[in-house]
Chains A and B, each alone.
Chain A
Amino acid sequence: MAIDFLILNVLVLLALAISFFKSKEKSKMALKIAFKSLINTAPYIIITIVIIGIMQGFIPNTLITEYLGEKSGISGVLLASLIGAILHIPAFISFPLVASLIERGASVMIGAAFITSLTMIGFTSLPLEIKEFGIKFTVLRNISSFIAAILIAIAVGVLL
């Protein structure tokens, strides 16, 4: 495949080798953590891949273009941001999902809206944020994150 990802893999392996050279103990720990996070994220990855495949089989491109395409405008962006804010999935599986939607006719702006609100707003972590910082801080931070997500999406969509 792409040469840049060959380079990436080599770089990471190099970093791992340096790490082993410096401390065997810590490097083993790092691999353990890597494995743990792989185990934790594997179901999300598999489910996403399954969803992408099934969408390809059942949702025609015309439907995606109609509801998630350029035409859907600001309401599409708002909807995508709202869904992103509520969903609690690891950000990195949203990238292939969004990529497959864009490939099939969704607008870049909507994709960016979904990604930014997904990452910036955590409905599920609200209680913890309130506990640590109080309700006012939490409300201010999350509402402004939502607005920021929409602005970022518009900027990315317009410029790309």
Chain B
Amino acid sequence: MKENKIKKGDYKSKTMKSYAGIILSALIFLGIILLFPERKDVIISESKKYFIEMLLIIPPVMISIGLFSVWVSKDLISKYLGKESGIKGAFISIIVGSLPMGPLYIAFPIASSLVKKGASLLNIIVFLGAWACLKIPQGLVELKFLGLKFMILRWSFSIILIILMGYIIEKIIEVKKIDIIPSIK
């Protein structure tokens, strides 16, 4: 399908960019170390420390992203999202949104198709918010570097504010009764 074609092209250019990015940053790193040999030890030891920590956390993160994306389909999202309304719907939206399915720009088409199917704005806003800032694999990295307490605090306040945001935006948009979402028609 059309979508697949775009993705493939994207992937190729992304891979190219990846290599260019790695080579460029390696060159900058080497250049700086050669120019400032007296700071070499500090720079290398700090980079090494973070490199090792990343190395420990990256494989499980990537594998869980892969597993989620094959076992949790987009249909599943549509199945659960938008059925329930109110606070229950909001919580389902959070859970579904936190599953790793890709970057935010993938979420917009999914969400807008759900609006067409009748999902409430509250659910959609909560879903987009959760998709953006509460991702399960990313949470593993957050846990590793910033600790459990930071993570629990950030996640709980994010959940509260995302739901609040959903209620407020839903109120504003529904009160005005204007055709906000042109694609619905």
B80 an interface residue at 8 Å Cβ cutoff?
A: no
Specify which chain B residues have a CB less than 8 angstroms from the CB of A119 in the assembled complex: 132-133
Specify which chain A residues have a CB less than 8 angstroms from the CB of B51 in the assembled complex: 49
B60 touches A43 (CB 8 A): no
A137 touches B62 (CB 8 A): no
A15 touches B22 (CB 8 A): no
B36 touches A57 (CB 8 A): yes
The contact string, 1 if C-beta is below 8 Å from chain A, for chain B 131-155, is 0110101101111111001100110
Q: How far is B59's CA from A15's CA once the two chains are assembled, in angstroms?
A: 13
B173 touches A140 (CB 8 A): yes
B44 touches A53 (CB 8 A): yes
Specify which chain B residues have a CB less than 8 angstroms from the CB of A27 in the assembled complex: 67, 70
Specify which chain A residues have a CB less than 8 angstroms from the CB of B135 in the assembled complex: 91
A134 touches B62 (CB 8 A): no
Q: How far is B62's CA from A4's CA once the two chains are assembled, in angstroms?
A: 18
Given contacts A1-B56, A5-B57, contact A43 B21 (CB under 8 A): yes
Chain A: interface residue total (CB-CB under 8 A): 76
Looking at chain B, what size class is its interface with the partner chain? 35 or more
A74 an interface residue at 8 Å Cβ cutoff?
A: no
What are 10 A-B residue pairs whose CB atoms fall within 8 Å in the complex?
A: A34-B67, A40-B18, A46-B26, A91-B135, A92-B141, A100-B46, A100-B50, A112-B154, A136-B173, A160-B153
The 9 closest A-B pairs by CB, nearest first: A43-B21, A53-B47, A34-B66, A30-B66, A56-B46, A119-B133, A99-B145, A57-B43, A57-B39
B→A interface (CB under 8 Å): 11, 14-15, 17-22, 25-26, 28-29, 32, 36, 39, 42-44, 46-47, 50-51, 53-54, 56-67, 69-71, 103-105, 108-109, 111-112, 115, 125, 128-129, 132-133, 135, 137-138, 140-146, 149-150, 153-154, 157-158, 161-162, 164-165, 168-169, 172-173, 178, 180-183
A→B interface (CB under 8 Å): 1, 4-5, 8-9, 11-13, 15-16, 19, 26-27, 29-40, 42-50, 52-54, 56-58, 91-92, 95-96, 98-100, 102, 108, 111-112, 115-116, 119-120, 122, 125, 128-129, 131-134, 136-137, 140-141, 144-145, 148, 151-152, 155-156, 159-160
